Each structure stands twice: as structure tokens, then as C-alpha cells.
Amino acid sequence: GVLEVLAASASSVDIAIWNPDGSPAELSGNGTRIAAAWLAEQTGATRVTVSVGWRVVETTLSQTGEIEQLIGDVLVGPAETVDGITFVPVSVGNPHAVVIGDPATIGVIGPKLETHARFPDRTNVQVARVDGEGEVTARVWERGVGETLSSGTSAVAVAAATHGEGEVLVHFPGGDLRVHLA
């Protein structure tokens, strides 16, 4: 995707996010981290507020390069089944459908759910395997993109759907993300 900087000050940045297919994205955890790191590099800020549409993400950058974000409200719905696929709908400011199963099936399940009539504006899809308490392995089918190696909002959606609260380490092919759910 593409991040467009709409406005910036010493400690805040407003961005728009565009998927490779040209559609707008409501939120991107990786995108907001990139925008925060870019502004911090420009201004030296260690706390950056990133605005994407109506969503405001508070970001703190550590001396070691780690970036912590307060994403905001996460809404988890009851499990649903469409066309034989059971998923948990999750909103992290953008829509997600989390399937508990074998992550290797993402290439089949992802496109089916992304464009299903249940999701008139399409959805992001994750197939996740719970590895134990506080640990999950997942793959992501990103709306308007296809399979991606990692996704910040997908990590939050997977953690919320599989654990509900606490610390969760989410393993993606592109690297691990740690999520804290309060």
C-alpha cells in the first residue's frame, strides 16, 4: 500500500492509507508505525500521534527502536459461519474475520471470505492456530492486497479473537508482534 502524509507537526501526523488496488484502508497498524517512525526521525519526537480518518493512534518510540501503539477500541463479535467457514468478526477500526485453523489454508479461505456477501466492503482475513497460552501463529489475507507477511491490526484481531485479554505473541511469516489486550 501507500501512505500519504496529509499534514504533520513536531509530534503528530495525519495520514491516508491506500491499498494496492486503489481502495482506501481505514487503518493499518504497520502503516501507523511507519508514519510514527518517519516523523520521529524528522523531529526527534518519542511520542507521536498518528491520525487516520477518525482513528487516532498514540505511539511511543523507545531508544531501542521498538514502537508501542495504543490502537483504541477493539470489538469482537460472536462466531459466525458462512459457506462452511466459521470465523470470529473483529473490528480494529477496520474489519477482520479470524478463522481458527491451519494457517496454511489462508490461500483458500482468505479470498472466499474477503469478498463474501457477508462483507459488502470486503474484509481482512486471518487463519490462526493457538500454540498455547499467550501465543498464536497466523497468516493474513489483507483486503485489497492478498496474502501479506505481517499486519499490525491483524495481530490485534487475532489476539482478541483467540485470547480476549492479556499479553499475546502473534507469529507471522514476516515476524512476531506482541499485543497487550486490556
Note the pTM of the prediction, 2 decimals: 0.89
DSSP string, 12-58: EEEEEEE-TTS-EES--HHHHHHHHHHHHHHH--SEEEEEETTEEEE
Residue 95 is predicted with a pLDDT of: 95
Q: Residue 152 and residue 100: Cα distance in Å, rounded?
A: 18
Residue 91 is predicted with a pLDDT of: 96
Is 43 strand, coil or helix? helix
pLDDT tens for the 182 residues of the chain, in order: 799 999 999 999 999 999 888 888 888 888 999 999 999 999 999 999 999 988 899 999 988 888 899 988 899 999 999 999 999 999 998 999 999 999 999 999 999 999 999 999 999 999 999 999 999 999 999 998 899 999 999 999 999 999 999 999 999 999 999 999 98
24 in Cβ contact with 16 (< 8 Å): yes
Q: Closest Cα to residue 58, out of 76, 33, 39?
A: 33
